[in-house]
Amino acid sequence: MFLKDSFRKKIPVTSTTKRAIISGPTAPPSGGYERFSSEYPEFCSKTKALAAIPPAVPPSTAESLDLGCSSCGTPLHDQGGPVEILPFLYLGSAYHAARRDMLDALGITALLNVSSDCPNHFEGLYQYKCIPVEDNHKADISSWFMEAIEYIDAVKECRGRVLVHCQAGISRSATICLAYLMMKKRVRLEEAFEFVKQRRSIISPNFSFMGQLLQFESQVLATSCAAEAASPSGPRCERGKAAPTPTSQFVFSFPVSVGVHAAPSSLPYLHSPITTSPSC
């Protein structure tokens, strides 16, 4: 509720108001707004109450879940489950990494923490690797691409599943997943971006990370074409287009219609920046 703009023009001029005008602001009259609105209803109007924001978790389960990850800062709209990028590769946020029920439901065996401040909640239960990168234009995330790719492959070889996460699951962890797809599936950044975005619509690597991904794309394309040129069948690369790897287990088909933020079926501190790969 608020006072109309015409208040100053229409309010009765009494000895009290004259004193207020002369002496300046005074303490609110006793009774507050309720008394004022009852005595001068013509100077007040009503507004509709805001609709209640729906809870992030159904009330029936809210009490049984530990939603506390005070350092994660995850927005309410991102409290669904992690999304599957590949059968062994998942993308999510620090909120997801703090939810053991989600991790177990997806069969996650390892986590790749792409941040310098998100703690690892369950170091005795899952394998962890940390990439301490900040989400800003000065961060050199590309220097970690190959180490991250090797870690993901190591988890895959052990028939495990890895969750790649940062704080919000929007920039840093998405960048790592894009680099993995570009390298292992020999696809361009544009294709990889569309593929991941259809699964997690809120991804948005910062401008610097996108530039580093474009540079990485050039390296991947050059490596692919060099390999094709050296093969017995001769070069098959078209200018500006990557060649698929012969050993790729499946082929991308873009665009692909998939669900976004599928619902799920909760920290000691970080390890040193370089940790060992998971053991089978």
Q: Is-contact 277 154, C-beta < 8 A?
A: yes
- In angstroms, the CA 264 to CA 79 distance is 10
**What distance in Å separates the CA atoms of residue 13 and residue 32, rounded to the nearest whole number?**
19
Residue 32 φ/ψ region, left for φ over 0, alpha for ψ in the -120 to 50 degree band, beta for the rest: left
Active-site positions? Answer: 166
Token pair for residue 135?
């989400």
> DSSP string of 218-277?
HHHHHHHHHHHHHSTT---PPTT-PPPPTT-SS---SS----SSPPP--------SS-PP
What is the spatial distance between Cα 57 and Cα 44, in angstroms, rounded to a whole number? 38
Q: Please report how many Cα atoms fall inside a 13 Å half-sphere around the Cα of residue 126, on the Cβ side.
A: 29
Q: How many residues does the chain have?
A: 280
* Pair 238, 186: CB distance under 8 Å: no
148 three-class SS: helix
Q: Do 105 and 86 touch, CB atoms closer than 8 A?
A: no
